[in-house]
């Protein structure tokens, strides 16, 4: 068996090399993303592993079929950039890594919230300039707040545990209820009810498709005054301009955004020597009440190792047994 792993970052490489050695399976490591040009490098391999934020071009899958490669294993969870219809047409199976470290993301979302609640963004900026005044950066206490967790999958549930540890009141919403959360009596019946009753709304949902936002001018109008939005899920869950306007007008207290609807091509790139073309992003970065980070909630050694190795294990299962626990239903 010979595998090829695309879009590999330097921080992932050692885990892939170690897996290759331990499993005695050849893995060609490629830093290029998977696209209609680079797919040629996969000719002669049995399976393709990849991670990228850019959409996977349909032409890739026609080529895979031509090369006799019928499995693509992603190193991440989100499959919103994969054209299922072209996969189906070419009889290609897809796997993802549904759970690489829910705690990494849950811990980060709480960290972002604490940074906001304790005014750390503007405090750090002040201290950097040797301004040691307290005011106006007075904090708010998490234990006094109601946190609304939208999405009670693994990440949402990990977040709930942490918020409960802080003594916050937690309410939750999910279309598919989890028995443990149900037992604790945390569920409200609708997303509207969650939005109306939360001081903090934290999103742990997958993308609902372009234009299907959870946070927008209409839903913000329903939210409590001075509420906070935390998003470590997907950027397109929020109409970002509406959210920004609501923070500027002080309807909302602030926001923690580790994902952004226009992040592809910007996040995880170094733009330190250029002016940002995206004025909204630039405005949000300037705003002390908006904590922006470049999609790093997942970025821990544990998660990166799990993404690298679980994707390879799923590929082996697919190639040996024709199926794996992490196969995505593309039908
Ligand atoms: C995903 O796993 O889909 C993520 O959003 C994390 C990604 C940046 C590796």
Look at residue 329 in the predicted model and tell me its pLDDT.
96
Which atom of ligand 1 is found nearest the CA of 97? 2
Structural domain spans, the chain: 2-100+301-321, 102-292
The kind and range of the H/E element at 28 are strand 26-29
Instruction: Output the CA 100–ligand 1 centroid distance in Å.
Output: 10
Establish whether residue 78 lines the binding site of ligand 1, counting it when its CB lies within 6 angstroms of any ligand atom: yes
DSSP 107-156: HHHHHHHHHHHTTHHHHHHHHHTT----TT-----GGGSEEEEE--SHHH
Q: Read off the pLDDT of each residue in 233-255 and give the average, rounded to a whole number.
A: 98
Nearest protein Cα to ligand 1, atom 3? 78
Instruction: Output the CA 77–ligand 1 centroid distance in Å.
Output: 6
The CATH T-level fold of domain 2-100+301-321 is: Rossmann fold (3.40.50)
pTM: 0.95
Establish whether residue 100 lines the binding site of ligand 1, counting it when its CB lies within 6 angstroms of any ligand atom: no
CA nearest to 117, candidates 84, 141, 153, 89 = 141
Q: Read off the pLDDT of each residue in 12-21 and give the average, rounded to a whole number.
A: 98
Asked if the domains 2-100+301-321 and 102-292 are classified in one and the same CATH topology, the answer is yes
pLDDT digits (tens, 9 = 90+) for 143-170: 999 999 999 999 999 999 999 999 999 9
Which residues are tagged catalytic?
A: 234, 263, 295
Evaluate whether the domain defined by 102-292 bears CATH number 3.40.50.720. Answer: yes
Which atom of ligand 1 is found nearest the CA of 78? 3
Instruction: Output the CA 285–ligand 1 centroid distance in Å.
Output: 22
Establish whether residue 213 lines the binding site of ligand 1, counting it when its CB lies within 6 angstroms of any ligand atom: no
pLDDT digits (tens, 9 = 90+) for 28-85: 999 999 999 999 999 999 999 999 999 999 999 999 999 999 999 999 999 999 999 9
| Model confidence at 210: pLDDT above 90 | no
């Amino acid at each position: 068996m010979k595998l090829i792993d695309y879009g590999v970052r330097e921080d992932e490489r050692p885990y892939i090399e170690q897996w290759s050695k331990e499993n005695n399976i050849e893995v060609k490591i490629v830093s290029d993303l998977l696209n209609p040009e680079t797919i040629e490098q996969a000719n002669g391999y049995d399976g393709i592993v990849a991670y990228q934020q850019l959409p996977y071009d349909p032409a890739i899958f026609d080529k895979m079929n031509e090369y006799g490669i019928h499995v693509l294993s992603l190193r991440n969870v989100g499959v919103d950039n994969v054209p299922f219809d072209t996969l189906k047409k070419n009889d290609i199976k897809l796997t993802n890594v549904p759970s690489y470290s829910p705690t990494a993301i849950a811990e980060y979302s709480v960290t972002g919230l604490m940074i906001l609640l304790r005014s750390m963004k503007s405090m750090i900026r002040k201290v950097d300039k040797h301004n040691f005044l307290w005011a106006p950066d007075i904090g708010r206490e998490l234990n006094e707040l109601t946190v609304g967790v939208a999405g009670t999958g693994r990440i949402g549930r990990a977040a709930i545990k942490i918020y409960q540890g802080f003594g916050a009141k937690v309410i939750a919403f999910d279309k598919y209820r989890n028995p443990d959360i149900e037992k604790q009596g945390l569920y409200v019946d609708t997303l509207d009810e969650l939005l109306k009753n939360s001081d903090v709304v934290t999103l742990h949902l997958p993308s609902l498709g372009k234009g299907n936002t959870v946070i927008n001018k209409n839903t913000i109008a329903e939210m409590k005054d001075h509420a906070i939005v935390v998003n470590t899920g997907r950027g397109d869950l929020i109409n970002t301009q509406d959210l920004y306007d609501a923070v500027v007008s002080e309807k909302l207290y602030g926001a923690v955004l580790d994902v952004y609807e226009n992040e592809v091509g910007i996040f995880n790139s170094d733009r330190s020597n250029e002016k940002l073309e995206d004025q909204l992003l630039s405005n949000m970065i300037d705003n002390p009440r908006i904590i922006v980070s470049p999609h790093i909630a997942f970025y821990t050694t544990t998660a990166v190792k799990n993404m690298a190795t679980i994707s390879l294990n799923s590929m082996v299962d697919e190639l040996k047994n024709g199926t794996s626990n992490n196969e995505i239903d593309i039908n």
